[in-house]
Copies of this chain bind each other. A is one copy, B any other.
Amino acid sequence: MALQEAILVALTHGTASGYDLAKTFDVSVANYWSATAQQLYRELDRMAASGLVSAEMVEQERRPNKRIYSLTPAGRAALRESTTRTPKPTAIRDELLVQVEAIDHGDTDSVRAFIHERLASSRAKLARYERRREGMLDGGSEAHFLQTARRIGPYLTLARGIAFERENISWFEMVLAATAEKSIDADQT
């Protein structure tokens, strides 16, 4: 169900095609939910059938035709109603964590290599998020933004994403330090 809600919120920012949403879900929405393009196309179909979104075909000249979706009043109502339903508890689910748990029975060097990869990708994500944050704050303070902005939801979830990536980075560094002696290759952080 949460995929539906994530799509509904995304559409509050304006109309979008399935393709647009797929890109959005890769950057900003990935902060709190993720989905593949195929899931989105399937879900948008269903939602159009149940009247939560309306689809308008837009023919383009030098590009394939688009199906532009927008929120209907029913969609807005569903979104509002969805915030009153108890959200499922969440936990971390990460294959890399499973590997780290198994590190004493596995191949330390390859796990360390995967951590190096994640470290790079977390740093890149963090940089992107922080640029977005700066853009939102627009020179002002966080307190000022939170008091005056007409929408604070996207800022709050972005803050969660930033904290998450910071934590990832420092945990990765800790794991690399803790496994350094057990590794053959020198530690190039």
The chain A residues found within 8 Å of chain B, CB to CB, are: 1-2, 5-6, 8-9, 12, 30-34, 76, 79-80, 82-84, 86-107, 110-111, 114, 118, 121, 146-147, 150-154, 156-157, 159-161, 163-164, 167, 170-171, 174-175, 178-179, 181
Contacts and interface: CB of A to CB of B under 8 A. Distances in A.
Given A84-B110, A101-B154, A159-B174, 8 more contacts: A5-B95, A33-B97, A34-B93, A82-B102, A83-B99, A89-B118, A101-B156, A152-B179
Contact of A160 (B82, B97, B106, B110): B97
Contacts of A30: 91
B101 A76 contact: no
A31 B171 CA distance: 14
Contacts of A88: 95
Given A92-B164, A93-B34, A105 B87 contact: no
Contacts of A31: 91-92, 97
List of 8 A-B pairs having minimum Cβ-Cβ separation, nearest first: A83-B106, A32-B97, A87-B95, A87-B96, A90-B94, A103-B153, A84-B110, A9-B102
A100 B174 contact: no
B83 A111 contact: yes
11 contacts: A2-B98, A9-B105, A76-B105, A80-B107, A87-B95, A87-B99, A87-B114, A100-B160, A147-B181, A163-B167, A167-B167
A109 B63 CA distance: 45
B146 A178 contact: yes
Contacts of A102: 5, 8-9, 12, 79, 82-83, 153
